[in-house]
Amino acid sequence: MTVQTLQIPAYRTFPVRVSRVQRLSPSFLRITFTGPELGDFSSNGFDQRIKVMLPLPGRGILDFPAGDDWYGAWRALPPERRMPIRTYTVRGLRPERGEVDVDFVLHGATGPASAWAERAAVGDEVVLVGPNARFPGPTGGFEWHPPADASCLLIAGDETAVPAVCAIVETLRPGQRAKILLEVPTAADALDVAAPDGAAITWLPRRPGGGAPPAPRGALLTAAVMAAVDELADVRTPTPGVVLDDVDVDAGILWEVPDEDLPPRRSSGVYAWLAGEAGVVKSLRRHLVQDVGIDRRSVAFMGYWREGRDSD
Ligand SMILES: Cc1cc2nc3c(=O)[nH]c(=O)nc-3n(C[C@H](O)[C@H](O)[C@H](O)COP(=O)(O)OP(=O)(O)OC[C@H]3O[C@@H](n4cnc5c(N)ncnc54)[C@H](O)[C@@H]3O)c2cc1C
């Protein structure tokens, strides 16, 4: 590896401004960012994660730390000048036009990202931290790694996972059997997705409309995942005695993805990807791995956010 290669970071900062704001549904807002350096922004597609550094009230992005050690510089700032950083998914990328789309869930003015998105207007400035097209190796930052021979894909999540799931679904090959379960706030949040033959999407609105009471967060998703697992007989390859480490979702991050260093998985034929509120994902993990016996080397479990806790 040359010295020059070592100096190129896999992820870098991109100053951008809002070029379009599009309301997709009651809960989803698509924001298109543009910037002179976005020709060097890359994406692996799928659930490609990025960071959004949000402007501070009254200071905008004045304090945004440039340079390769942006994170060290950000941490060194006094707390009142540290711009909030949140994790999002690349929903669309057009490097030739210098454009990136990010779909924000509007969950109220309770967090800086959602509050910023609600008021976003053309010209507003933020900083994205994303994969660097000039980096010569794999940039990573995505967890969708199904084996080529998976007999069925089980993809499940809540609204925060919808952008990632939509991007994944659009890449499935026609004929690939896939069951996709998405819990969203309202029936009108069921987005148009180009799902190929073989992929069945079920939207699970917590507020179904017609005056019916809302379902508690996670209840519909949990029931639907359990039913799907029951249907997929080939997922059942019980390993008696599997006891999971307890992950404290209030103190840490629930992020359990197949480890390439583990011995090869048994061929269960099913690959699963689950993301959403950490407590919900944690209980699904316990059910799938401990109760059903699904091989954890075939499942990615990701807590995208935690109810009652900000992402700082
Ligand atoms: C890999 C990854 C990819 C992600 N991709 C996306 C994406 O593409 N689009 C997207 O909208 N989110 C996405 N998220 C989730 C997003 O990072 C969180 O929802 C984040 O907390 C939002 O920041 P905030 O500033 O709005 O709220 P915070 O300041 O983090 O939290 C403030 C309060 O709001 C609550 N809260 C946070 N999110 C929600 C929510 N969705 N619904 C209800 N209450 C909430 C928190 O529990 C807390 O009480 C992703 C997360 C990860 C880890």
**In the structure encoding, which two tokens stand for residue 123, read together?**
């010209």
152-305: same fold as 3-131? no
- Please check the confidence at residue 219 and state whether its pLDDT lies above 90: yes
Q: What is residue 232's predicted lDDT score, i.e. its pLDDT?
A: 77
Greater confidence (270 vs 97) lies with 97
User: To test ligand 1's pocket by mutation, which of 50, 56, 159, 160 has the most ligand atoms within 8 angstroms of CB?
Assistant: 160
Rounded mean pLDDT, 142-154: 92
Q: Which atom of ligand 1 is nearest to the CA of 84?
A: 25
Q: Which residue's alpha carbon is nearest to atom 27 within ligand 1?
A: 111
User: Lowest-pLDDT range, 67-71, 74-78, 110-114, 213-217?
Assistant: 67-71
* ∠ Cα 274 277 280 (to 5°): 75
Q: Residue 60, Cα to own-chain centre: how many angstroms?
A: 26
pLDDT digits (tens, 9 = 90+) for 1-54: 454 556 899 999 999 999 999 999 999 999 999 999 999 999 999 999 999 999
Q: What is the mean pLDDT of residues 61-74?
A: 89
Query: Strand, helix or coil at 262?
Result: coil
The class that CATH gives domain 3-131 is mainly beta
Which residue is closest in CA terms to ligand 1's atom 39? Answer: 107
Cα of 305 vs centre of ligand 1, distance in Å, is 5
User: Average pLDDT, stretch 131-148?
Assistant: 95
> Distance from the CA of 148 to the center of ligand 1, in angstroms?
31
Cβ(110) to ligand 1 under 6 A?
yes
Distance (Å, rounded) from C-alpha 297 to C-alpha 259? 7
CA of residue 311 to ligand 1 center, whole Å: 7
Q: What is the pLDDT of residue 263?
A: 56
Q: Are strands 199-207 and 178-186 parallel, antiparallel or unpaired?
A: parallel
pLDDT recorded at residue 242: 65
Query: Cβ(217) to ligand 1 under 6 A?
Result: no
Pocket of ligand 1 contains residue 105 by CB under 6 Å: yes
Write down the domain spans for the chain: 3-131, 152-305
| Nearest protein Cα to ligand 1, atom 36 | 307
C-alpha distances in angstroms, 18 versus 61, 96, 121, 288? Answer: 13, 17, 7, 41
CB atoms within 10 A of CB 244: 12
162-198: pLDDT as tens digits: 999 999 999 999 999 999 999 999 999 999 999 999 9
Report pTM. 0.94
Q: Is 28 in the pocket of ligand 1 (CB under 6 A)?
A: no
The share of the chain scoring above pLDDT 90, in percent, equals 74
CATH architecture of 152-305: 3-Layer(aba) Sandwich (3.40)
Mean predicted lDDT score pLDDT of the chain? 91
End-to-end CA distance of the chain: 35
In short, whether 310's Cβ falls inside 6 Å of ligand 1 is yes
DSSP reduced 3-state for 290: helix
Burial group, residue 25, by CB count within 10 angstroms (0-12, 13-18, 19+): buried
Closest CA to 156 of 17, 15, 19, 287: 287
CA distance 195 to 180: 10
pLDDT at 249: 83
Ligand 1 atom 19, closest CA: 305
Residue nearest to atom 5 of ligand 1 (CA): 88
Q: Where are the alpha helices (DSSP H) in the chain?
A: 3-7, 70-76, 112-119, 162-169, 219-231, 278-285
307 lines ligand 1 (CB under 6 A): yes
pLDDT of residue 241: 59
Q: Taking the C-alpha atoms of 87, 100, 114 and 52 in order, what is their torsion angle to the nearest 10 degrees?
A: 40
Does 258 contact ligand 1 (Cβ within 6 A)? no
In tens, the pLDDT along 258-310 reads 876 655 555 558 899 999 999 999 999 999 988 888 888 889 999 999 999 99
